Structure 1
Amino acid sequence: MSRYLKAGERIVNTEALHGGITAEMRRLTIGTRDGGTRDLVLRTFVDPFFAEHAEDLLNREAGVLTLLTGTGVVAPGPVAVDPTAAHCEYPSLLMTHLAGRTVLDEEGLQARVPLLARQLVAIHTLRPAERPREYEAWTTADAVVHPDGADAAAWAAAIDVIRKPAPSYEGRFLHRDFHPGNVLFDVPPPSLAGPRITGVVDWVQTSWGPADLDVAHCSTNLALLHGPAWRLRFAEAYEEAGGVLAAAASERLYWRLLDALAFAGGAQWVARPWREAGRTELTTRAVEERLDAYVTALMDALG
């Protein structure tokens, strides 16, 4: 690690950052020659499954972070990447540290949702010289197993929706994992200015695909974090911010369900970092119940 620091610098402190699902994140405090400090962030793939795929994942993210430099979309800057663990114990990416913090609280959500929507519109307007890879679906109709106690009829109908061919779409630059846990905010006291976004992190899954898919992913996360009543608000805010979604309701439903059904069987993975962030009421079971309510609400909207 020291080879990537400036002359006379050294690591003086490390702090685990909570919220990651696939990787371990640490903030490294670097002591500088003039007696000051600066921070860097280290992403490390420790889990054997993700470590096996780390070379592609880390090289891709480092490339995306380089591409985002100077675009107006604030993201970490790449410092160094060791995708095969040639120099580190595990495959790792070292990047700059952004100010701000993730905010998953119920309080202030009404003010944050439009900011999230405007940020996503800005991401979708990017037109890089070289497109990222085409998006990958995170589930298939045959792979979905509904949670215990779920509305089996609603889930069967939902699975039938994503069994159909994907609708045609106009491609956009996708973050692909855009949700409140990957957006940093500066939240001043209520008596001062409102919240503002200071950056967007976790660009491992960046790809090219329909704007609806990014909107669907954030909508699912909002429904699980704050209740299914939020299922429509984010899409509305996205369009209010100038974003364009599929014209047909059936196409919007396809992308929403393609994302939501991918959470089936994985509620424990998203619930854990949310509890670590202070949302202790979001047990695996609670998240499964909200997912069932969300999928059921999407299907009820058809009729």
Structure 2
Amino acid sequence: MTNHDESAAVRPLTPAWVNRHLEVGERIVGTEALRGGITAEMRRLTIGTRDGGTRDLVLRTFVDVEHAGDWLNREAGALTLLQETGVPAPGLVAADPGAAHCEYPSLLMTHLAGRPVLDDEGLETRVPLLARQLLAIHALRPAERPPQYVALTTADTVVTPKGADAGAWAAAIDVIRRPVPTYEGRFLHRDFHPGNVLFDVPPSRPTGARITGVVDWAATSWGPVDLDVAHCSTNLALLHGPAWGLRFAEAYEEAGGVLAADASERLYWLVRDGPAISEEVQQVSRPWREAGRTELTTRAVEGRLDAYVTALMDSLG
């Protein structure tokens, strides 16, 4: 078996577990570490097949992560549900959320073609595609609802970036202190953003991009669609500038999505997500730099987050 790099190596107990879920005559012939994850280790496993060919699987491992078992149970449930829908998602092969067989909680799934695209080029095409894909996720009606969403920040834990517009951030924090608006619950991905969406983009024609998959379903929840829209909006603002964060909500509505009608309620959900990233800018920006966006330093991302929160307060506050 070959490893593309040392970090791709699979721990001793895990290959035996993987092998139990392969077809007769198949074996692991190669591993490759996949970049871009924040909480989980991701590896592509190349599987040698009986006819001499190969196929790929993906191994997702949570190392010393609190609530890993819950997350993997959610993901396994979501992947099972999604196989009966038109949402492009990996197929579940096996899950070991309690680490009964592997060193750490792990999940084995099929590998999807495509890659995350984080470049500015072609963004005008990709944003409507992202909006339509998220709308399709929200249209799902599972027989069993996933757990209720959990807010990722509180008014007392927000970290105002150094040099930020103090007035805008104080106003945003006051918004979070308001009572939670009433909403109609829907199936949420809860971590939908460009880094978790795979695209096929023709090299000579960025406008021909198409979505080939949506990954990372570990945070699947039940809650307001505004929250999923807010999360993707924030990520777009940090990757491409505040205007794109504001644009995504428009694209979602253009696709047929329905957001909170009241401006103050919309602001609540948008602000509920943005400042949450203030507590983990360094962790969020690192995978983007590893993917080639080297200009997105922690300081640069903090600056974009400040500009986005300020723009939200100016437009809806």
Q: Same fold (TM over 0.5)?
A: yes
- Look up the match of 1:291: 305
Q: Which whole-Å deviations, capped at 9, do the CAs of 1:1-28 have from their partners, x for residues lacking one? A: 2111111111111111111011010110
Q: 1:190: how far off?
A: 3.0
Task: Say which of 7, 26, 35 aligns to 1:18.
Answer: 35
**What does the per-residue CA deviation read over 1:97-137, in whole Å, with 9 as the maximum and x for residues that have no partner?**
11111000011011000000000010010011111111110
Deviation at 1:170, TM superposition (A): 1.1
Distance in 1, Cα, partners of 2:207 & 2:162:
44
- Paired residues, number: 300
Contact 2:29 / 2:48 at 8 angstroms: preserved in 1? yes
Q: Please say if residues 8 and 32 of structure 1, whose CA atoms lie closer than 8 Å, have aligned partners that are also in contact.
A: yes
Select 1:90's aligned residue among 96, 100, 104.
104
Matches within 5 A, 1:130-209: 130-191=144-205, 194-209=208-223
**Amino acid in structure 2 at the alignment position of 1:276:** E
Matched residue type, 2:163? G
Tell me if structure 2 keeps the 8 A contact 1:11–1:31: yes
2:5 corresponds in structure 1 to none
Of 220, 229, 248, which residue of structure 1 is paired with 2:262?
A: 248
Identity over aligned pairs, percent: 80
What's the secondary structure of 1:188's corresponding residue? coil
Q: Establish whether residue 62 from structure 1 lines up as the match of residue 79 from structure 2.
A: no
Which residue of the partner structure matches residue 26 of structure 2?
Answer: 9
Q: SS in structure 1 opposite 2:309?
A: helix
- DSSP 3-state at the match of 2:156: helix
After TM superposition, the score normalised by the length of structure 2 is 0.92
Gaps of 5+ in 2: 1-17
CA deviation after TM superposition for structure 1 residue 265, in Å: 2.2
Alignment equivalent of 2:276, drawn from 252, 262, 267? 262
Give me the TM-score of the superposition, normalised by structure 1: 0.97
Given that 1:147 and 1:265 are in contact with CA atoms closer than 8 Å, whether structure 2 keeps it comes out as: no
Alignment RMSD: 1.2
Closer, same or farther: CA 41–197 of 1 in aligned 2, 3 Å:
same
CA contact (8 A) 2:121 2:206 kept: no
Q: Which runs of 5+ in 1 are unaligned?
A: none
User: Residue 289 of structure 2: which of 263, 275, 278 is its match?
Assistant: 275
Q: CA deviation at 1:94?
A: 0.4
Kept in 2: contact 1:154–1:296 (CA 8 A) = yes
1:73–1:122 CA contact under 8 A, matched in 2: yes
